Amino acid sequence: MKKIIISLAVMGTMLCSNLETFAAQTIGFVDMSKILSSYTKAQAITTSVKGQQDEIQKMLTEARNQVNNAKTDTEKADLEKKLTEEIQQKNNIFKAEYEKNVQALQDNIFATVKKVAENKKIDCIFRKDNVIIGGKDITEDVLAELNK
Ranges 8-12, 42-46, 125-129, 140-144: which has the least confidence: 8-12
Which of the four CATH numbers 3.40.50, 3.30.70, 3.30.910, 1.10.3470 does domain 26-147 have? Answer: 3.30.910
Give SS3 for 130: helix
Contact 127, 30 (CB under 8 A): yes
Confidence check: pLDDT of 11 > 60: no
pLDDT score, position 43:
94
Confidence check: pLDDT of 62 > 70: yes
Nearest-angstrom CA–CA distance, 12 and 19: 11
Report, as an integer, the average pLDDT of 113-122: 96
Q: Please give the torsion angle defined by the CA atoms of residues 34, 39, 43 and 45, in that order, rounded to the nearest 10 degrees.
A: -110
Which residue ranges make up each domain of the chain?
Answer: 26-147
Contact 108, 146 (CB under 8 A): yes
Classify strands 136-137 and 27-30 as parallel, antiparallel or unpaired: parallel
DSSP string, 47-108: HHHHHHHHHHHHHHHHHHHHHHH-SSHHHHHHHHHHHHHHHHHHHHHHHHHHHHHHHHHHHH
